[in-house]
Amino acid sequence: MMTPYLLCLTLLCPAQAEDLDDLFEKAIQTAVKQSSSFVVKIETSGGTEVVRTGGPRPGMMRRGTGPTTGVIVSADGYVISSSFNFANKPTTIRVSLPGTNERKVARVVATDQARMLTLLKLADLTNDSKLTVPTAIKKEEIKVGSSALAIGRTLNAETDDVPSVSVGIISAVERVWGRALQTDAKVSPTNYGGPLIDISGRAYGILVPASPQTEGELAGFEWYDSGIGFAIPMEDVFAILPRMMKGTEKEPAILRQGFLGVTMQSGDELFEKKPILGTVQPGSPADKAGLKPGDTIAAIEGRDIVNFAQMRLQLGKKYEGDSVSFKIIRDGKEITFDKVILGSGVAAYDQPFLGILPIRDDNETGVEVRYIYPKSGAETAGIKVGDRILKIARPDLPPTAPLVAVANRGALLDLLAVGRPGQEVKIEVKRKADGKTETLTAKLGDLPETAPARMPEGASAKKAGLKPGEKPGIVQKKPETGLQKLTLAATGQDYWVYVPENYNPQVACAVLVWLHPLGKNKERDFEDFSSSWATYCDDHNIIIVCPPKEGAWTGIDSDFIVQTIRNVAATYTVDMRRVLAHGLGVGGEMALYLGFKERALIRGVAPIGAPLAGPVKERITTQPLSFFLVVGDKDRALEGVKETNDRLRKARYPVMLREIKNMGHEYIDGKLGVTTLEELVRWIDSLDRL
């Protein structure tokens, strides 16, 4: 009887209701004060300006130089923070201890590339520095709707002040492939690296920028202060801490996303039915464990998998080295794989290379050879220009297995993709000279470091397939050529396209997406650009697509860019094996980003004076991606581009780096760069090398 009585009184009495507000406010203030003991201010010196701005108003990809926030996670001097805060690789780092204005030098000892966390170790720590570690809230206790306070250390001048706070609630759990909590408190560089705490001062997690669509230290920054904020659960942070603490300044621990090495079958139904493996990368963890193409994933870690999204949610939480159990269905039978040890995502082998260029737009069965690379496996085996490759041995099967027929260029690529350099494969060719069929043995090699010195004529058999909707015999209206402004029907966004004057629908063109540097987004800029390219476009069948962007490119622009490419591909005959992203400065960085994001579409990336800002993603054998890096030796980006070259090579991507003497941050259509520009053209023409 007493319960409803009391309840009613509470609702009725204004004085008591206000007291509730007061109580809540006091609780917030107490919680903030409590967090004060484990939230630290981080300051840095030096570091690179990874994104050059090119204008007075920097774009969103510019890093600030101000203080940032971190959380003490161990009494012996470890501080966790968001990797966003160290994206510019500062020379030195200092941490102000809470409650005092004592500053300590700190070093990066570990980076979690999957969750974008960085661990710092304080140097010169005395025994009397008392460090408080927050209490983690267990993940299963975190309920949507609970009060959540985002805490930062960047606004206050002194560290004995209380930290700053933004008040909100937990909006969702298990976000960003199971890695993050979501909150509507205002999360921004003001508090990235700080804790998300509850009303009693316990930590839900560490605030980070995050985005399910994009990756890297800066991903998700565009959502700052929007009411969409993320935090990595504190429980997960503590769980990974022992692994991170093994790192040192000299050898920082790098924690990577666990990598299985498979791709899925057909894209459309990925979210509707149980995932079926399309390819298994040779030498990958999946391959070593014995997973095979065609296997249906039924359960991961004992949890039933209904669609690909669930598979990603389960695998998204795993690190390199983690052991995962799978239940799969093969030929109607269930098979369990108990311990599949995930890898690091670094491809096991380099992309193999036979040493030929194929004739394009060819409807006949097999692949006609257009060009033989000197000293390649193809040359040694005695393959000649004009020969037609009809059959090949599958490199992933025993040498005794029968040869399989090669339908066309794409099929040959897929068959070679599962091989590795050094392997010998049998190839059946039909000789041009006498029409006889011969079986040769070719040793697969490594991809060449240069484009062919001269491109052979006659790249195309001029028999490209008809576009959808076209009927043979009906004369098509000749598509417009030259530079033209087009509009995306769905969004009303304008973009420009340059089509070669000698365009022929029977010859598939390469697509070069030009991502302009900051401010060069006007029609006259695209006129300038396409006029330097016009001759090359005519000679080598290249279509240029110019999406414009006010301000600096950001990750969210990729949808727009992809739409422009798709639209062009729907109007003109396009060779999807040669779709490239090309850009200068910020545009070049966007080109690199786009290359990794749109794996199914982009085959080549050619950035000028632009380093890679985000992480290098693993190579996918059936979706080859090649890089042509250009930088002037007077360009501030020189070091960054060289580092990008090293990183891409380490991940076994085919990369060419051209350092141009005496050139600064500029495009390569001038005197200094034109030889490189011409090599770039030949590289584009030879991108379907096999």
Among positions 70, 77, 90, 609, the unique one binding another protein when judged by CB under 8 A: 90
User: Binding to another protein by residue 44, rule CB under 8 A?
Assistant: yes
634 binds another protein per the rule CB under 8 A: no
Q: In whole angstroms, give the CA distance from residue 519 to residue 460.
A: 38
CB of residue 86 vs another protein: minimum separation in angstroms?
13
Q: Pick one of 74, 156, 265, 622: the residue that binds another protein (CB under 8 A).
A: 156
Kindly tell me which of 427 and 610 has the beta carbon lying closer to another protein.
Answer: 610
Regarding 530 and contact with another protein (CB under 8 A), the answer is no
Verify binding: residue 167, another protein, rule CB under 8 A: yes
- By the rule CB under 8 A, 69 interacts with another protein: no
Establish if 556 lies at the interface with another protein (CB under 8 A): no
- Judged by CB under 8 A, the residue of 8, 172, 405, 674 near another protein is 8
The amino acid that residue 276 corresponds to is I
DSSP 432-450: TTT--EEEEEEE-EEPPSS
DSSP string covering 364-413, please? Answer: SSSEEEEEE-TTSHHHHHT--TT-EEEEE--TTS-TTSPPEE--SHHHHH
CA distance 548 to 495: 6
Measuring CA to CA, which residue among 57, 79, 59 is closest to residue 70? 79
The answer to whether 646 contacts another protein (rule: CB under 8 A) is: no
Strands 424-430 and 437-443, by their bridges, are antiparallel
Is there binding between residue 418 and another protein (CB under 8 A)?
no
Selected binder of another protein within 23, 92, 559, 675 (CB under 8 A): 92
Interface map 107-146 toward another protein (x if CB under 8 A): ----------------xx----------------------
Quote the least distance from Cβ 195 to another protein, whole Å: 15
Element (H, E) at 103: strand 103-112
Give the one residue of 157, 433, 474, 489 binding another protein; rule: CB under 8 A.
Answer: 157
Q: Which of 23, 25, 138, 323 binds another protein (CB under 8 A)?
A: 25
d(CA 146, CA 27): 14
Residue with Cβ nearer another protein (42 or 114) = 42
Nearer to another protein, 157 or 475 (CB): 157
CA separation for the pair 576, 8 (Å, rounded): 69
**Alpha carbon separation from 571 to 262, 288, 563, 578, 653 (Å, rounded):** 33, 44, 12, 16, 31
Q: Which is nearer to another protein, 193 or 358 (CB)?
A: 193
Sequence-separated (6 or more) residues with CB below 8 Å from residue 444: 352, 353, 354, 377, 395, 416, 419, 420, 421, 422, 423, 424, 425
* Three-state SS at 112: strand
Query: Binder to another protein among 98, 134, 163, 587 (CB under 8 A)?
Result: 163
Under the binding rule (CB under 8 A), the answer on residue 554 touching another protein is no
Q: Is 14 in the site for another protein (CB under 8 A)?
A: yes
Applying CB under 8 A, does 18 fall inside the site for another protein?
A: yes
Nearer to another protein, 104 or 409 (CB): 104
21-29, 297-305, 362-370, 560-568 -> range binding another protein (CB under 8 A): 21-29
Whole-number Å distance between alpha carbons of 608 and 88: 20
Number of residues lying near another protein (CB under 8 A): 63
Q: Count of CB atoms within 10 A of residue 470's CB?
A: 11
Q: Closest approach of Cβ 146 to another protein, in Å?
A: 17
Asked if 17 interacts with another protein (CB under 8 A), we say yes
Please tell me the distance from the alpha carbon of residue 270 to that of residue 282, in angstroms, as a whole number. 23
Q: Is 642 in the site for another protein (CB under 8 A)?
A: no
* Size of the chain, expressed as the number of residues it contains: 690
CB 499 within 8 A of CB 482: yes
Among 55, 66, 321, 670, binds another protein (CB under 8 A): 66
Task: Report 178-197 residues binding another protein (CB under 8 A).
Answer: 185-186, 188-190
The string over 198-208, giving b where at least 16 C-beta atoms fall within 10 Å of a residue's C-beta and e elsewhere, is: beebbbbbbbb
Least Å distance between CB 105 and another protein?
A: 5
The binding track of 322-361 with respect to another protein, each residue x by CB under 8 A or -, is: ----------------------------------------
490 binds another protein (CB under 8 A): no
* Contact pick of 139, 394, 426, 636 for another protein (by CB under 8 A): 636
Chosen residue from 34, 48, 81, 281 binding another protein by CB under 8 A: 48
Residue span binding another protein (CB under 8 A) among the ranges 6-14, 280-288, 503-511, 555-563: 6-14
Q: With binding defined as CB under 8 A, does residue 665 bind another protein?
A: no
Of 166, 344, 644, 676, the one binding another protein by CB under 8 A: 166
Q: Is 656 helix (H, G, I), strand (E, B) or coil?
A: strand
Looking at the DSSP assignment, which residues form a beta bridge with residue 277?
264
User: Which tokens sit at 102?
Assistant: 């004592």
Nearest to 154 by CA among 226, 84, 107: 84
Spatial separation of the C-alpha atoms in residues 415 and 410, rounded to whole Å: 9
The answer to whether residues 595 and 580 touch, using CB atoms and an 8 Å cutoff, is no
CA 460/CA 19 separation, integer angstroms: 81
Contact 570, 562 (CB under 8 A): no
Residue closer to another protein (CB basis): 1 or 489: 1
What residue ranges bind another protein (CB under 8 A)? 1, 4-5, 8-9, 11-12, 14, 17-18, 20-21, 25, 28-29, 31-32, 43-49, 58, 60, 62-67, 88, 90-92, 94, 103-105, 123-124, 149, 152, 154-157, 161-167, 185-186, 188-190, 224-225, 636
